[in-house]
Structure 1
């Protein structure tokens, strides 16, 4: 294998689903009130009775009752500015975490005493309680509701309502939950991912394939280089691998053939070329023809010059000739595909409908890629992307699979941008 096709060392990074990306970005505001700890259930019942449309499951990812010491540092400072505590200030101006919040009612001069009690040895006496998202009830109505019920009917202190911005959806990993707890509000993580594959499933599959990724991406790169040397395509390739029998077997290898005409001649490198001869399309066609051959049928029955579905280079031919795929089974079920580049939207859908098990690619394609759901900045395309996330959209598509990006520290950003413009 030539040095030009060497794949830099790196790591597998699972792709985020479209819903995961949404969950990581979507926030809303909630009301928080400071109350004596023993009244938490009382206040919860009052809120639930007054707002029947509010379902507590909506905020189940938030720690609903929190001690002061567990609040993020920026909230501690905003709830009780250190200068007030040190001076014993009687400044009773309202505290709001949003500059555009509705003005809050003033607190009485007894405010300082409550602050001091919250920071004495008996600090458990005070809690910060998440009431509900602000869209369910107006501030004035909520204030009046709390004022009419314990504990505020029994103490000379009116409710201190605060606005806090929190994640609107549950975290998808322990790392994300920790980050949110430091950034927004203490989070309850339930060791699951409601918006994508379960973390344990991703980890198990990552461990299974990570030792071989480098090898298969190198074969894919070699396939792309050989095709490009013939002038038939770009330096883009893919490898289809079967691991269902305990060891890895390569089923098909294909390079990009977009500049090859149906007659086999090299076409001018203008426009987008033959999109039906992308490496993914060619590899899937080869898998189909191998299954036909194993079943005793003539694979030439599927010959379509448009798809360029016959092996053309030295790296493609040996794998095409190997009899190593069962005749039965639906196309690419349980097979893995390794690609030098993120597949375009068309190829992403072909991978999905062919029912691959896992997809791994080496270079993101922000202008054309269909797999990633988040954005990544490049020199040509800062912070933009199609964001389709086609690998895992179960409510809309009839198949889903696991997908990773191979991230290398040695990747040449300029080269990546150049490749992006060609796909």
Structure 2
């Protein structure tokens, strides 16, 4: 679900500036002054929209529907029946649908189920047209139970019909990740419980706080990424793609590194087209690392010497004016681990290799503008043309690191040349 960014800011957290038209401009003081971005800070950049990415499990759940047995018993016998079900579960049929209400009154069923059950049998009509003394119960996934066993179990319950009611309905397999989704499923499938968490990804509160942290100054970093991207294209060293790395603390957000794409750069006549190790994200992270090494060697009173390489595949030496200006500035946190907790802003969604590098460098947040559905590594959305689901590398249970990630939509940034959808970024 998109998080709308409005124009309201608390007065103490902002500064008043005047643009060239004499109009008051309110900008969050989150982007700390820096000659590289001061002109962007002075502009009234549109704030845009930050859209949290879905994890692979969240995308998976959107397509995965299971089937469950439901039955009905007299309300006074409901506890007894649920106990019998639990005893049956001890044999290996554990409840796999804890997000669905175990018991539901006839009046609480979705409208289509009420209509169906009212017309099935005379008993059903009676139950749904008068004050009911019956209650419906979700048994569990149909694959986990034998119909014969369930009918035998129901025959042991006091007051059950001579021919017990037992039906199969479609149900969502995964738990809802929002109150809105729970309400939708309650209307479409069965009364559903939202437990104010997200078992399939970041807690909604994490995304809400993360959005609040970055929403005021994200347009500045996005605009800077576009600026260095255009420089890379104009210089002929790569595609129009750029990346910016930012550190945020209680004082605000400070620029740490930036880089344009350099996949076409030929060093001393050596090189090859579409060098994947010269993507803008990898280059930006390498420059951050070099700043840390530079500081460590200075403290140890050792010169900063680059290795002599006939050809450097990573092309992590600053080549563009913006890169050089940023690289000359010191790292604001010289004791940090590479990019631990830092924020990445890029013009395009990083490819799988760059996305894994983002994880290994321990980034805290990532924001990109152009979704790359065929080659991107952060998003888990379905790939077109039967390409399967994306990897959703920003948040996967089997990996030892995760981060928050958004797609950014907005105006106020220069148009970039279109790239082939199969391009890796």
TM-score (norm: length of structure 2)? 0.81
CA deviation profile, 1:136-170 (whole Å, cap 9, x unmatched)? 22223312321233232xxx532111111111121
- Which residue is 1:12 aligned to? 50
- Which residue is 2:94 aligned to? 55
Q: 1:303 to 1:390 in 2, by over 3 A?
A: farther
Q: 1:407 to 1:73 in 2, by over 3 A?
A: farther
Q: CA separation in 2, counterparts of 1:406 and 1:383?
A: 26
Q: CA separation in 2, counterparts of 1:197 and 1:66?
A: 30
- Which residue is 1:282 aligned to? 283
Q: 1:205 to 1:350 in 2, by over 3 A?
A: same
* Offset at residue 185 of structure 1 (A): 1.1
- Which residue is 1:406 aligned to? 408
Alignment of 1:155-234 (within 5 A): 157-234=162-239
SS in structure 1 at match of 2:343: strand
* Offset at residue 415 of structure 1 (A): 6.9
Number of positions where the alignment pairs a residue of Structure 1 with one of Structure 2: 376
* Offset at residue 299 of structure 1 (A): 4.2
Q: 1:70 to 1:413 in 2, by over 3 A?
A: farther
Return 72-81 or 208-217, whichever deviates more: 72-81
Match of 1:24 among 62, 79, 83: 62
Match of 2:330 among 303, 307, 323: 323
Q: CA separation in 2, counterparts of 1:63 and 1:386?
A: 30
Contact 2:177 2:198 in 1 (8 A): yes
Alignment of 1:15-414 (within 5 A): 15-52=53-90, 53-56=92-95, 58-81=96-119, 111-120=121-130, 122-123=131-132, 125-152=133-160, 157-263=162-268, 273-295=274-296, 296=298, 297-301=302-306, 305-375=312-382, 381-382=384-385, 384=387, 387-394=390-397, 396-408=398-410
Q: 1:114 to 1:385 in 2, by over 3 A?
A: closer
Q: 1:339 to 1:166 in 2, by over 3 A?
A: same
SS in structure 2 at match of 1:142: helix
Q: CA separation in 2, counterparts of 1:248 and 1:412?
A: 23
Q: CA separation in 1, counterparts of 2:172 and 2:139?
A: 15
Contact 1:32 1:163 in 2 (8 A): yes
SS in structure 2 at match of 1:243: strand
Contact 2:118 2:124 in 1 (8 A): no
Contact 2:222 2:413 in 1 (8 A): no
- Which residue is 2:10 aligned to? none
CA deviation profile, 1:274-317 (whole Å, cap 9, x unmatched)? 11100011001100111122221544336763211122222222
Q: CA separation in 1, counterparts of 2:75 and 2:412?
A: 54
> Which 5+ residue runs of structure 2 have no aligned equivalent?
1-38
SS in structure 2 at match of 1:301: coil
CA deviation profile, 1:100-123 (whole Å, cap 9, x unmatched)? xxxxxxxxxxx4255224322x23
TM-score (norm: length of structure 1)? 0.82
* Offset at residue 325 of structure 1 (A): 2.5
> Which 5+ residue runs of structure 1 have no aligned equivalent?
82-94, 96-110
* Offset at residue 128 of structure 1 (A): 1.3
- Which residue is 1:86 aligned to? none
- Which residue is 1:92 aligned to? none
- Which residue is 1:88 aligned to? none
* Offset at residue 54 of structure 1 (A): 2.2
* Offset at residue 47 of structure 1 (A): 1.8
Q: 1:384 to 1:199 in 2, by over 3 A?
A: same
